[in-house]
Amino acid sequence: MQLVIVESPAKAKTIEKYLGPGYKVLASYGHIRDLPPKDGSVRPDEDFSMDWELYGDKTSRVKAITDAAKTADRLILATDPDREGEAISWHVRELLAKRKALPKEVERVTFNAITKQTVTDAMKRPRELDQDLIDAYLARRALDYLFGFTLSPVLWRKLPGAKSAGRVQSVALRLIVEREREIEAFRSQEYWSVIARLEQAGTEFSARLVKFDGQKLDKLTLGDEGAAMNAKAIVEAGTFRVEDVETKPTRRNPYPPFTTSTLQQEAARKLGFSASHTMRVAQTLYEAGAITYMRTDGVQMDPSAISAARKAISDRYDGHYLPEKPRHYETKAKNAQEAHEAIRPTEFTKDRYGSGDEARLYDLIYKRAMASQMASANIERTTVTLRDGTGKHELRATGQVVKFPGFLAVYEEGRDQKADGDDEDANLLPAMNNGDTPAKRGVDATQHFTQPPPRYSEASLVKRLEELGIGRPSTYASTLQVLKDRNYVRTEKNRFFAEESGRLLTSFLERFFARYVAYEFTAGMEDELDDVSGGRAEWKTVLAAFWRDFKPKSDEVMEKKPSEVTAELDEFLSDYLFPPRDDGTDPRLCPKCEAGRLSLRGGRYGAFVACSNYPECKYTRKFAQPGGAEGEGAEDGVLGKDPVTDLEVVRKAGRFGPYIQLGEGKDAKRASIPKDIGEMDLEWALKLLSLPREVGTHPESGNPISANIGRYGPYLVHDGKYARLKSTSEVFETGMNAAVMLLAAAAAGAGGRGGRVAAEPLKVFGAHPLSGGEIKLMAGRYGPYVTDGTTNATLPKDKQPETLTEEEAVTLINERAAKGPPKGKKKAPAKKPAAKKAPAKKADPDTGAPKKAPAKKAAAKSAE
């Protein structure tokens, strides 16, 4: 019997069918071992020796592999064709050797797609494990461990509220924070454009004023309304004739097929997918044999695939759409490695596959791959110049016509933001000749304001990381997810916003660990790791060079007192927190007591700015709120007076976010400001302060139904039974009929028992890898829990539902299932002498939560 090891059960089932009798295919379910989350798992003083620990939920899986290996004649390691796949194969081999269950014959095979042809062909070309790739994995894993486990304790002790730092994640966070700073430092400028609406031969078109009074206009030349109206009057009074018509043919070539990063970017732009969701869906398509491997830097396609694509093009379009020669692409991305094929369909005869998100992503991959082998698009760009009789004033009209669409008939790449002039280029211009005088239908002078750089979307951030050579495209999805899970960033309308904790962490790292969050350093480390995978460098030498400088630096910061750290950050951030005031007064002067000085302080829940006259003066403001008049106005502002009590309603900024307050002292009434409220005004403030709102009396029980806002958002409550609402506005708008229906639906969702369960899940993840059931996060009577439809697992008390990841959900369900069905209560045993107090559990450097026992450790992420 020949034993084949792959990573996922879906692949195992498909491949066993392809190989037939004589083969047994088992899945490892991703990694089977990892470094234990404790100090000493990597020991630099012992030549970087490393300890490995079996994942608690992989015990039965590894036993099945071990038992099968004892009776196998040959072991075929067929995990994914990348670094992680090579590492999983290495772990399986090492573990079987340790258990004395390793067959005499051990071979490694890789394939880029799960089709019968590729799998059977791969089995005919086995090789040895690639030690260079294994060394690169060991170096990367040890490097990330040493970075996180050395730096995270420094953060916990010196920076309140910080959870963890990572070699790549901290640099990605820095990009987001720096963009936030650019936006805040941006000062908008007014400018005007003058556009003439013209008509020629019955076709209307527009022309922009580009030259005025002999001066060429740039974007900001017409900087105020007076100048714009003067220019408008001149254009209205003048007669403009066509002086030049320039027609320039251009060609646009197709884009190469998808790589991991370009797939993530396009799926974000066109489908609204997050990077992690894109990779999950692509994983499903790959395991089903629909597409090639989805973790790749390569843009090339196999010659047979190119032939299949060209045939599909010729079958669908006429000969003009098929270039004479096949197109060949070369990878230009920095640090590109592991020369796999691009992501493409396994069969170009199938232009559709699956349903839902799978179908949408497959359609994107199929069209991009086919378009990559199509003819170029022929575009004719026309520029028409018109001048008045004086020759001092000039209008320009531009437009383009697609003469032959070529690949554009199938696919056009999306863009994150339109460039200036894009709309004008899309104009269709009538035929014009020199001397023509188009009819003037009107002239518009329009006011504009320069815009700050846009916040990063997932697509643009992934693109920027790849441009800088930071991290690997295959890890971007998990890196961005960590930033969200740690609450360092939030996303709104698919854009990243830096949270207060993320800004503070970035500032701390820039001040004390500047070298290790420098883009050049992080990209340089990727180069060194690539040298290891290419056999050009020795992995322990790379680690030793890193550790030689990093350890003393972390020890130096650890020796500082928290007050010293805060003082240095106060000075480092002075320009940001206390920018110069327009009136020239001291920016650190307290605006409340007008005597104390403001400075950065550290508290249990993070940093904030406070007055030196505390406790007499209790003025504070959030760390992430810069100084100046605008900041102060946003923090403490009178919204108006309550018409009932005649007391002032004040907006304030607290350590837990903005809130509103009515009155002072113990009798003051307060309410937090929900994030989904746009602009806070007196009307909204009075509504929030009036909560809870009584919707009415339930027709069956006769008891009241109330609407309110709680820890997990807006909700309805009746007789201790709850139902979620979708937005703050629904708290004030939901009527009796809707409330009764929502409560009934929530009760039905709890199995008819009327428990405190929402009708809709708080969050929906993918399918459970074992049961296949859809994983949902629910709000239960005794707190939030996750379920796959078979097993329910309560979230730990220290775990916030909004930060739960799919991997953590799978782990919780697996751990609960391993305990078996709930048992009835047993009689309490007789009291025994008090046992010795167990030592305090160490905190996990990745999550900040108490470390779990090995058997309870989080499951490995399935290689996608």
Check: CB of residue 295 under 8 Å from CB of residue 510: no
Per mean pLDDT, which of 146-150, 599-603, 846-850 is the most reliable? Answer: 146-150
Find the helix packing angle between 131-158 and 500-512, rounded to 10°. Answer: 100
Whether 531 has a pLDDT exceeding 80, the answer reads yes
Q: What is the pLDDT of residue 416?
A: 61
pLDDT band at 275 (very low <50, low <70, confident <90, very high): confident
Rounded Cα–Cα distance for residues 64 and 774 (Å): 26
Give the contacts of 596 (CB within 8 A, at least 6 positions apart).
589, 590, 611, 612, 613, 614, 617, 619
196-254 confidence digits (pLDDT tens): 999 998 889 999 999 999 999 998 999 999 999 999 999 999 999 999 999 999 999 99
535-547 confidence digits (pLDDT tens): 899 999 999 999 9
436-453 confidence digits (pLDDT tens): 999 999 999 999 999 899
- Number of C-alpha atoms within 13 angstroms, CB side, residue 382? 20
The CA radius of gyration of the chain, in Å to the nearest whole number, is 32
Verify whether residue 293 is a known catalytic residue: yes
Higher pLDDT, 6 or 606: 6
Q: What is the mean pLDDT of the chain?
A: 84
DSSP string for residues in 821-848? SPPPPPPPPPP-PPPPPPPPPPBPTTT-
* Phi, psi dihedrals of residue 501, rounded to the nearest 5°: -65, -35
Per DSSP (E only), the strands in 17-58 are 23-27, 33-34, 42-43, 49-50, 53-54
722-777 confidence digits (pLDDT tens): 898 988 889 998 988 889 888 888 877 643 333 333 345 677 787 777 776 778 88
Rounded Cα–Cα distance for residues 144 and 129 (Å): 23
Q: What is the pLDDT of residue 782?
A: 65
Q: What is the pLDDT of residue 426?
A: 60
Cross-strand bridge partners of residue 696: 705
Catalytic hit among 29, 55, 293, 619: 293
**Residue 647: exposure state from Cβ atoms within 10 A (0-12, 13-18, ≥19):** middle
CA quadruple 52, 54, 55, 60: dihedral, nearest 10? 170
